[in-house]
Amino acid sequence: MKFRTNQIVHKQYRHGDAVTIEFEIETANGNPTNTYVVKDAKGNFSECPAHLLGEKNFEKKALLA
């Protein structure tokens, strides 16, 4: 799946935090790496592989005992 610059997506781990796609990381010869630089709500940047990003927020559901 390809994401666009400035697209808001959710990480599929660590509580599904919303992040903004900044850009896709490319190799020196211009080939995509399928890894993106993302920015969280606090303004922190990090790298995240595309397979760990999604358009839907997966919330934890409480299990009834």
- pLDDT tens for residues 15-27? 778 999 999 999 9
23 within domain boundaries: yes
CATH number for position 42: 2.30.30
Burial grade of 35 (CB within 10 A; 0-12, 13-18, 19 or more)? middle
Nearest in space to 55 (alpha carbons), one of 22, 15, 7 = 7
- Check: pTM over 0.75? Answer yes or no: yes
62 within domain boundaries: no
41 within domain boundaries: yes
Domain encompassing residue 50: 8-54
12 within domain boundaries: yes
64 within domain boundaries: no
16 within domain boundaries: yes
- pLDDT tens for residues 10-65? 988 767 789 999 999 999 999 989 999 999 999 999 999 999 999 876 555 544 44
63 within domain boundaries: no
46 within domain boundaries: yes
